[in-house]
A and B are shown apart, each in its own frame.
Chain A
Amino acid sequence: MKASWLKWAIPAAVVPVLLLLAYGFKTNPHDIPSPLLNRPAAAFSLTTFSGAPISLESLRGSVVVLNFWASWCVPACYDEAPALERTWREYKDKGVTVVGVDVQDKEEAAREFLAKFNHSFPNAPDPKGRVSVDYGVYGVPETFFIDRQGRVRFKVVGGLTDETARHHLDALLKEPS
Chain B
Amino acid sequence: MRRGWAGAAAVIALTAVAAWAAPSTRPPSTGPVDEQVVHEVASQLRCVVCQSLSVADSPSETANQMRAIIRERLAAGENPEQVRAYFVAKYGDWILLSPPRSGFTLLVWVVPFVGLGIGLVLVAVAVRRWSRAPQAAAPSQIDPAVRERIRREMSQMDKP
Contact = CB atoms under 8 A, between A and B. Distances in A.
B92 A35 contact: yes
B69 interface: yes
Interface in B107-143: 122, 125, 129
A81 B110 CA distance: 47
Contacts of B65: 104, 128-130, 132-133
A104 B89 contact: no
A121 B148 CA distance: 104
Nearest to B115: A13
Contact of A35 (B49, B62, B89): B89
A174 interface: no
A133 B69 contact: yes
Interface in B29-62: 48-49, 61-62
B55 to A, nearest CB: 11
A2 B126 CA distance: 9
Given A2-B129, A128-B65, A129-B62, A135 B90 contact: yes
By secondary structure, the B interface counts as helix
Contacts of B87: 133
Question: B88, B91, B122, B129 — which one has the most chain A CB atoms within 10 A of its CB?
Answer: B91
A139 interface: yes
Contact of A138 (B48, B68, B89, B122): B48
A66 to B, nearest CB: 14
B90 A36 contact: yes
Contacts of B61: 104, 129
Nearest to A2: B129
B57 to A, nearest CB: 17
B94 to A, nearest CB: 6
Interface in A134-153: 134-139
B90 A35 contact: yes
Contacts of B69: 129-130, 133
A3 to B, nearest CB: 12
Contact of A32 (B66, B88, B92, B129): B92
Interface of B: 48-49, 61-62, 65-66, 68-69, 87-92, 94, 122, 125, 129
15 contacts: A2-B129, A32-B94, A34-B92, A35-B89, A35-B90, A36-B90, A104-B61, A129-B62, A129-B68, A132-B65, A133-B69, A133-B87, A135-B90, A137-B48, A138-B91
Closest 5 interchain pairs by CB?
Answer: A129-B65, A138-B48, A136-B90, A35-B92, A136-B91
